[in-house]
Amino acid sequence: MRVLIATAAMVLIVGPRVHAVECTLDDQQWIDDELPRLKSWSSIYESYRAYTPQCDDGFLAEGYTEAVVKMLSARWVTVHELARLAHRDPAFRRFVLKHVDASADPDDLRKVLTKATRHCPRKLGGLCASLATAAKAALEQVKG
């Protein structure tokens, strides 16, 4: 009984202070300011740190998907930078893998799958395997 009372008291004391953070970007700010900046892994990481999880939904999430998949398909040579950031911050790795999804351009997803399976740098096998799995799953969803 004491535990129940103590738990209820903590919820009443701490509960009101805990609230969800809302996204501070509107669609126009996203289109004009944030999305055009997402041209490197470091800029994607900075945006991820500033705006997720609160802005990782709907239209904005699709923008993250576009940026992530474009980086992987068109700038594969930068995968070492992704690996460094993902190693330092495992939540960022999960964020990137989450955005290799069916809302991306199927041609770009095929490029990601090919690069992750055929052009994986040494020592990045685990990351490449995860990227390949995500791209393959996304492509299967597109075929649906």
Distances (CA, A) of 144 to 49, 76, 93, 120, 134: 33, 27, 26, 28, 15
Give 20-53 pLDDT, tens digit per residue: 689 999 989 999 999 999 999 999 999 999 999 9
Q: Residue 25 region, left (φ>0) first, then alpha (ψ -120 to 50), else beta?
A: beta
Give 113-144 pLDDT, tens digit per residue: 999 999 999 999 999 999 999 999 999 998 86
pLDDT at 4 over 60: no
Q: What integer best gives the mean pLDDT of the chain?
A: 89
Sign of CA dihedral 29, 35, 41, 43: negative
pTM of the predicted model, to two decimals?
0.84
Sign of CA dihedral 85, 71, 23, 141: negative
Of 82 and 17, which is predicted with more confidence?
Answer: 82
